[in-house]
Structure 1
């Protein structure tokens, strides 16, 4: 059973191809430059061979067609033809209150995804473009929507309702939804395996660290709170998003600077966070590297990021009680070690202690490492997140009619004998 996963953004898409039955990774690909005069598609096979091709891609349909041309290339493609794909698992960022699990896509689901577009236009719009491209190019292949928001549908009302007029929730759906749900699900399942406990018995704080950052409080395996809100802007300081700010600031700036709502939203999403503090169009990796070298504004930005993460973790310790583990992803390998040190440096009074040597062990992003000190009251793990495994697992389970609620579903990566990715997804012999 070959599963293709798709994650479509405004000008790009990424894909991963799995042989799910044999549990082998067949390769990863991307298309960059969608909507520009010339886009480039690349596909890295699991045997190390790299394929690439360039062509005009005015939209996501042509972008998907370009990557499919690599997957089915007669000389080097891993597939004999597109009919070799059993299903496509699509990332969809916002599923509102309606979707608490992944679903097969039909016209009703498409209409629902479109109805939530105004809550995450930078994401649902290209996500939906990818869905429609898949249905158009591969109409006989089942397409599955996997929602970022689904994992957080277990939050209680006191955590997801905002202290604003209740009618806004009733009429307009104004509430906390949360995002990065597939990442938090993966981290929770891997942590349960590392702890040797059933997922439903684990209390955790998971920290998804990448361009976007979010935290999740998990009690008995279920999300009870998360830092992102109705939109992905709320929460921690991020690469280009502001995170939590005084809600009076946007209206003040709109009045003082004559900014439109759309312009203000663009600034909060794309020109704030680390970018806003440093004033340079750099990646989070670059900010971390320059902070390590003592660059003042980058150092300030990293200190701000760590301080805000520390405050969230403190709040979630109160919400969850003493957790079994705090689990960090590591989007930038060794550069993240200093972030964890800053975040956890004052938690020793609670018995939560890093081991400085272990903390610097994850030099790459594909290592699962226990980084807490001996005798720490809470285990601290670094676990690489692999959302595409969740996309593929849900797609395969829907095809087989076995997908259950995430608390009950038997995800392969929740098992104690599941080796750290990508070792368990090696290409088949011969």
Structure 2
């Protein structure tokens, strides 16, 4: 089985042997479609390879992946025919797709129809699917949607306060993203807590360059911070998160900005990068904070405060919480941010053990960083979206 995450300039892949799901190979091809050479990464246990390739397209990237997967020296398969299933990450499924789905011509048309909701993501996801169908014509192709997990959110939580016909005709509503990650870490939390998944009330925080918070009740997403697009919600690496929509109108009028310029502003120039003027990487922000740089301190505190607000809101939504979960690059590696987010959450029964948190710089398994007597457990859980996509792909194939 192969799991594919196709971006505009990168193609990430993971190979799974379904007889031994831990025996996997992963890597990526980056700088696709640029004037500079593409870069290939291939990681198979102790074998780590980096190669420079000629500048090329997604087609060339797929061909390079097949070449190394089947190479006599490093390969793990003898031919592309050995791949019998491919799971594709698709960012936006709109409200058409609420489950992992076997890809057919109708499904391809459906993904294309909702591409207007994710014009930066879905079209290139489709490129990956078409190239995969070319390279693996006999394999089952399955789409796993970032939005699918959140299709259980009730209307009162996903509707915006716009005239209802905009939802009816244009499907403008909250969809949410990072669904595969939120689902995976919530399942791992249930396993760790030795509780039935459907008994738990959880708040999951996926914190990376992109980030979102999710309220999960009895195994179902009931609210999430991202909206119709990934721009809504908490402050992120380069995304603004939620802002007054009139700010956009003001900028368009006063600065004569086009919609394209505004899109670039809120998605690529804002967030930690825009506030700090230093970087979109929390590691750089933390270093600058320790040097006493005021804008870095401001960016760090604003970022953490935006997360804290969602945790408070979702605690009210759920009524009570069994566990607060951190995942993603920042959630796993940045104790600095975890501790700032958790300050003042004692009123909600969330007490972080700062020494445990400080000692934790990454985790390969679930780690509890709450104090012994904390009513709510605070868990750090490494996500594994590729493994979750593989499992979901298998479930579709077995059901079919």
Over residues 355-409 of structure 1, what are the superposed CA-to-partner deviations in whole Å (9 max), with x where a residue is unaligned? 112112322243421000011110010001111111100111222227xxxxxxx
CA distance in 1, matches of 2:91, 2:290: 33
Contact 2:272 2:279 in 1 (8 A): no
CA distance in 1, matches of 2:94, 2:117: 9
Matching of residue 295 in structure 1 with residue 293 in structure 2:
yes
CA distance in 1, matches of 2:364, 2:166: 43
Gapped regions of structure 1 (runs ≥ 5): 403-430
Give the TM-score of the pair, scaled to structure 2: 0.96
Q: Return the offset for 1:334.
A: 6.8
| Larger RCO (CA under 8 A, 6+ residues apart) | 1
Matching of residue 183 in structure 1 with residue 211 in structure 2:
no
Contact 2:176 2:228 in 1 (8 A): yes
Contact 2:238 2:280 in 1 (8 A): no
- Secondary structure at the aligned position of 1:364 is classed as coil
CA distance in 2, matches of 1:367, 1:294: 34
Of 120-129 and 208-217, the range deviating more from structure 2:
120-129
- Secondary structure at the aligned position of 1:174 is classed as coil
1:27-426 → structure 2 map (5 Å cutoff): 27-37=25-35, 38-46=37-45, 48-332=46-330, 335-401=333-399
CA distance in 1, matches of 2:135, 2:213: 37
Give the TM-score of the pair, scaled to structure 1: 0.90
- Secondary structure at the aligned position of 2:84 is classed as strand
CA distance in 1, matches of 2:246, 2:174: 19
Kindly report structure 1 stretches of 4+ aligned residues shifted beyond 4 Å. Answer: 332-335
Over residues 42-64 of structure 1, what are the superposed CA-to-partner deviations in whole Å (9 max), with x where a residue is unaligned? 10102x11233333353212111
Contact 2:278 2:285 in 1 (8 A): no
Aligned length: 399
CA distance in 2, matches of 1:356, 1:57: 48
CA distance in 1, matches of 2:312, 2:330: 24
CA distance in 2, matches of 1:261, 1:374: 51
Contact 2:87 2:143 in 1 (8 A): yes
Q: Return the offset for 1:333.
A: 7.0
Distance 1:271 1:160, change over 3 A: same
CA distance in 2, matches of 1:213, 1:339: 13
Q: Return the offset for 1:173.
A: 0.3
Over residues 79-99 of structure 1, what are the superposed CA-to-partner deviations in whole Å (9 max), with x where a residue is unaligned? 111111121111000000011
CA distance in 1, matches of 2:109, 2:278: 39
Q: Return the offset for 1:128.
A: 1.2
CA distance in 2, matches of 1:195, 1:148: 26
Over residues 103-140 of structure 1, what are the superposed CA-to-partner deviations in whole Å (9 max), with x where a residue is unaligned? 11111111111111121122112211111110122111
Of 17-26 and 174-183, the range deviating more from structure 2:
17-26
Q: Return the offset for 1:284.
A: 3.2
Gapped regions of structure 2 (runs ≥ 5): none
